[in-house]
């Protein structure tokens, strides 16, 4: 079978093995794990079932949502490969993620991202009322507010995820890690293309705010609590309010790692002469 199918099968088999182990160790979870994971024949079906139950309401039924999600995942290989890449991202980058099944069941950053991908697909198919309704439920349930038009790559980690806001014309590249209470917003002054463009491999720390149609270069790092209003060059670190480049604007310090994957938040401090306690 193709490599992507082999990877899908490998991850799904791991998820089932983990769920079986946990059901045996904790009988109180056995029924939940069976209905959510072990009774399903594929990750697509398990994820669709879980998202349907998470996002349903008295007027937006879980069965309707299950069919909606399953149709999207089963018909679009990009959605399936993105889900696998996101699972791997959480497992590899977050030391608190003890298993793939833990991420699938409990990580609202992962779940909100997969649900957003379906909302985005609906948006691109001109099914905008349904896309907006789904986006609203995602915000209600997961406290993650992503406009369905926003474009998001693969290998994404929304770590903790609470309070993340992503505007309509924002673009997030591949292998990006974003912590809680991050805003990718507009300035309130202009319409049209008005939200940030986040390059591959970027790390955005907790509470950071990036406003306007600015570009965060590949492999850049945005420190926690920073406010960014202008472009940030690739492989550099921006910190502060307003944010400035570590090493200075003319010759900013460059790093070799990919912070979106390494999750290194603090290495710049030893090189930052103005850092005082």
pLDDT in tens, 22-44: 999 999 999 999 999 999 999 99
Q: Which CATH code of 1.10.3130.10, 3.40.50.1000, 3.50.50.60, 1.10.533.10 fits the domain covering 1-145? A: 1.10.3130.10
Strands across the sheet containing 227-228: 145-146, 165-166, 183-185, 209-211, 227-228
**Location of each CATH 2.160.10.10 domain in the chain:** 150-276
Q: What is the DSSP letter of 242?
A: T
Of the candidates 65, 166, 154, 78, which has an alpha carbon nearest to the alpha carbon of residue 115?
Answer: 65
In this prediction the pTM is 0.93
- Looking at 26-165, list the stretches that DSSP marks H as alpha helix, in order from N- to C-terminal side: 30-33, 43-55, 62-75, 77-93, 100-106, 108-124, 128-142
Cβ count within 10 A of residue 35: 14
pLDDT of residue 277: 52
Do the Cβ atoms of 138 and 159 come closer than 8 Å?
A: no
Residue closest to 229 by CA, chosen among 208, 243, 247, 245: 243
- Tell me the pairing of strands 203-204 and 221-222: parallel
Residuewise pLDDT in 10s, the chain (277 residues): 444 778 889 999 999 999 999 999 999 999 999 999 999 999 999 999 999 999 999 999 999 999 999 999 999 999 999 999 999 999 999 999 999 999 999 999 999 999 999 999 999 999 999 999 999 999 999 999 999 999 999 999 999 999 999 999 999 999 999 999 999 999 987 789 999 999 999 999 999 999 999 999 999 999 999 999 999 999 999 999 999 998 888 888 888 889 888 888 877 666 555 555 5
Q: Is 190 helix (H, G, I), strand (E, B) or coil?
A: coil
Quote the pLDDT of residue 190. Answer: 77
Q: Which pLDDT value is given to residue 2? A: 47
CATH value of 150-276 in 3.30.390.30, 3.40.50.620, 3.30.1200.10, 2.160.10.10 = 2.160.10.10
């Amino acid at each position: 079978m193709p490599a992507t199918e082999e990877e899908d099968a490998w991850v799904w088999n791991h998820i089932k093995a983990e769920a079986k182990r946990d059901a045996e160790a904790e009988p109180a979870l056995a029924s939940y794990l069976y209905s959510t994971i072990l009774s399903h024949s594929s990750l697509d079906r398990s994820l669709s079932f879980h998202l349907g139950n998470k996002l349903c309401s008295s007027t937006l039924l879980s069965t309707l949502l299950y069919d909606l999600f399953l149709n999207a995942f089963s018909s679009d290989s990009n959605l399936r490969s993105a889900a696998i890449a996101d699972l791997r991202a959480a497992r590899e980058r977050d030391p608190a993620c003890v298993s793939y099944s833990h991420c699938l069941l409990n990580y609202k950053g992962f779940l909100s991202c997969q649900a957003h991908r379906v909302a985005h697909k609906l948006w691109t198919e001109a099914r905008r009322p349904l896309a907006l309704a789904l986006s609203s439920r995602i915000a209600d349930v997961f406290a993650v507010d992503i406009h369905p038009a926003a474009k998001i790559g693969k290998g994404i980690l929304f770590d903790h995820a609470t309070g993340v806001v992503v505007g309509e014309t924002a673009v997030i590249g591949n292998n990006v890690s974003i912590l809680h209470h991050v805003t990718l917003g507009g300035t309130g002054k202009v319409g049209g293309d008005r939200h940030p463009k986040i390059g591959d491999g970027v790390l955005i720390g907790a509470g950071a705010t990036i406003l306007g149609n600015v570009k965060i270069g590949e492999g850049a790092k945005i420190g926690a609590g920073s406010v960014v209003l202008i472009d940030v060059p690739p492989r550099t670190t921006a910190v502060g309010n307003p944010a400035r480049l570590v090493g200075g604007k003319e010759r900013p310090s460059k790093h070799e790692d990919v912070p979106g994957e390494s999750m290194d938040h603090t290495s710049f401090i030893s090189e930052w002469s103005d850092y005082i306690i």
